[in-house]
C-alpha cells in the first residue's frame, strides 16, 4: 500500500494575507517569526492546526497565521481550546494568551486546563503590562513598575506564571525569551512534541509601555550572570566563566562560587523529569538581584491526558456505560 507523504511546508506557508498590526519593535514579531519556523517542521497539515487566543495584543496572533484560528473572549481561550480538543482530538490546538488575559480574568481557565492535562500548547506572552488597553499594571507587573494605574510604582505582589503552572500540576513547563530565537525554537519544538498540557511563558518586550523590562536577560554583557539556561541532567551553573552555581542549604537555594571548599558535587543537577515538581518550583522563584533567572524547561513529565482519562472512564462500553448512567441519572435534563 502506498504511504501518503505530506508536502514539505516552509515558514512562509504559515503567513496569512493580513497586515501585522503590532507596534514597530514589539517582541511579538520575533515570536511570530520563530513560531512559523517551528510549525513548518512539525509535519502537521495546516488544516489540522488551530490557534485559539483571548484578548490583548497577543490575541491578534491567529490572524497572522494561515491555519485555523479563533479569537475568543477575555481569558477564555483555554476553555474554548479544551472544548475544541474534546470535539476533535485529531487537531493540534495551540492557545495564545498574555499575562493580562491569562492571569486576571482567565486565571481559573488556565489552571484547570493545566491540571486536567488537556493536550494543548499554551503560549503565554508575558510583558508585565496591559498593552492593548494602553498600559496598565498587569498581574505580573513587578514591584515599582510605573504605569497609568500605578503612577508611583506598583506595590502589589506579582504572580509568577511558572510557579502557578507547576502548582496547577502542568506536565510541561518552560520559559523562553523573544529575542533569543534559537532558544525559543528549541523550547517551542519540545512543547509541540509534548503529549498533554504544555505551558510556555515567553518574556516579550512591550516597546511602548514597558520597554526594556527584560534587558537583564538579553544584554550580552550581563546575561551570563543573570540567567541560567536549564539543561536536563546538567549542573545549574552560570557566570561568564561558569564558575558559579546553585546549591541547596536545607530548603533554601544558594548561589555559590566554585572553589574554597565548594566543588561540583555541591551543585544541583537539573532534572526536568523529576516526579515531584518541588525543585522546579524552587527554580521558578529565583529572581534578581540575588539570583539568576532560569530559562528553559522546568518540568517535562508524562501523565495520562484529559482525553485518555475521559476515554477510559467515560466512553468505554457499547453503548458507553458512564455516559448512559449520566443520562439516566436524576441530574440530567432533556432539552427539547
* CA-wise closest residue to 128 among 151, 93, 103: 103
Neighbour tally for 164: CB within 10 Å: 23
Distance CA 302, CA 286 (A): 25
26 binds ligand SF4 (CB under 6 A): yes
71 binds ligand SF4 (CB under 6 A): no
Taking the CA atoms of residue 171, residue 49, residue 97 and residue 117 in that order, the dihedral angle to the nearest 10 degrees is: -20
- Are 250 and 282 spatial neighbours (Cβ–Cβ below 8 Å)? no
Distance CA 283, CA 304 (A): 25
Shortest separation between residue 113's beta carbon and ligand SF4, angstroms? 23
Q: Hey, which residues between 41 and 70 contact ligand SF4 (CB under 6 A)?
A: 57
Shortest separation between residue 145's beta carbon and ligand SF4, angstroms? 14
Residue range at the interface with ligand SF4 (CB under 6 A); choices 113-121, 202-210, 225-233, 270-278: 202-210
Shortest separation between residue 20's beta carbon and ligand SF4, angstroms? 10
206 binds ligand SF4 (CB under 6 A): yes
The three grid cell numbers given for residue 263, joined into one nine-digit string: 566543588
Distance CA 36, CA 192 (A): 13
Shortest separation between residue 23's beta carbon and ligand SF4, angstroms? 3
* CA-wise closest residue to 170 among 208, 150, 197: 197
147 binds ligand SF4 (CB under 6 A): no
179 binds ligand SF4 (CB under 6 A): no
127 binds ligand SF4 (CB under 6 A): yes
- Are 148 and 136 spatial neighbours (Cβ–Cβ below 8 Å)? yes
* CA-wise closest residue to 39 among 194, 192, 196: 192
Residue range at the interface with ligand SF4 (CB under 6 A); choices 20-28, 72-80, 169-177, 307-315: 20-28
Q: Smaller CB distance to ligand SF4: residue 31 or 81?
A: 31
84 binds ligand SF4 (CB under 6 A): no
Residues in contact with ligand SF4 by the rule CB under 6 A: 22-23, 26, 28, 57, 127, 131-132, 206-209
Amino acid at each position: 500500500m502506498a504511504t501518503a507523504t505530506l508536502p514539505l511546508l516552509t515558514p512562509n506557508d504559515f503567513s496569512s494575507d493580513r497586515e501585522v498590526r503590532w507596534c514597530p519593535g514589539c517582541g511579538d514579531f520575533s515570536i511570530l517569526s520563530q513560531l512559523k519556523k517551528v510549525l513548518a517542521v512539525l509535519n502537521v497539515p495546516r488544516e489540522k492546526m488551530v490557534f485559539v487566543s483571548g484578548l490583548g495584543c497577543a490575541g491578534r496572533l491567529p490572524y497572522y497565521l494561515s491555519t485555523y484560528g479563533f479569537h475568543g473572549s477575555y481569558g477564555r481561550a483555554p476553555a474554548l481550546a479544551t472544548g475544541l480538543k474534546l470535539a476533535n482530538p485529531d487537531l493540534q490546538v495551540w492557545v495564545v494568551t498574555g499575562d493580562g488575559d491569562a492571569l486576571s480574568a482567565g486565571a481559573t481557565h488556565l489552571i484547570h486546563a493545566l491540571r486536567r492535562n488537556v493536550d494543548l500548547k499554551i503560549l503565554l506572552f508575558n510583558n508585565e503590562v496591559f498593552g492593548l488597553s494602553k498600559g496598565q499594571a498587569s498581574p505580573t507587573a513587578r514591584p515599582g513598575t510605573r504605569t497609568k494605574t500605578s503612577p508611583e510604582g506598583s506595590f502589589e505582589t506579582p504572580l509568577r506564571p511558572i510557579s502557578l503552572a507547576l502548582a496547577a500540576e502542568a506536565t510541561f513547563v518552560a520559559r523562553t525569551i523573544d529575542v533569543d530565537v534559537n532558544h525559543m525554537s528549541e523550547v517551542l519544538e519540545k512543547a509541540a512534541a509534548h503529549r498533554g498540557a504544555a505551558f510556555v511563558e515567553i518574556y516579550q518586550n512591550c516597546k511602548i509601555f514597558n520597554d526594556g523590562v527584560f534587558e537583564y536577560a538579553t544584554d550580552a554583557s550581563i546575561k551570563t550572570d543573570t540567567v541560567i539556561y536549564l539543561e536536563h541532567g546538567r549542573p545549574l551553573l552560570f557566570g561568564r566563566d561558569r564558575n558559579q552555581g546553585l546549591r541547596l542549604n536545607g530548603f533554601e537555594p544558594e548561589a555559590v562560587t566554585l572553589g574554597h571548599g565548594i566543588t561540583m558535587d555541591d551543585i544541583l543537577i537539573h532534572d526536568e523529569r523529576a516526579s515531584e515538581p518541588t525543585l522546579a518550583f524552587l527554580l521558578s522563584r529565583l529572581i534578581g538581584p540575588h539570583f539568576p533567572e532560569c530559562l528553559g524547561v522546568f518540568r517535562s513529565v508524562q501523565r495520562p491526558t484529559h482525553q485518555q482519562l475521559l476515554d477510559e472512564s467515560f466512553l468505554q462500553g457499547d453503548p458507553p456505560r458512564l455516559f448512559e448512567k449520566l443520562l439516566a441519572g436524576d441530574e440530567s435534563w432533556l432539552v427539547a
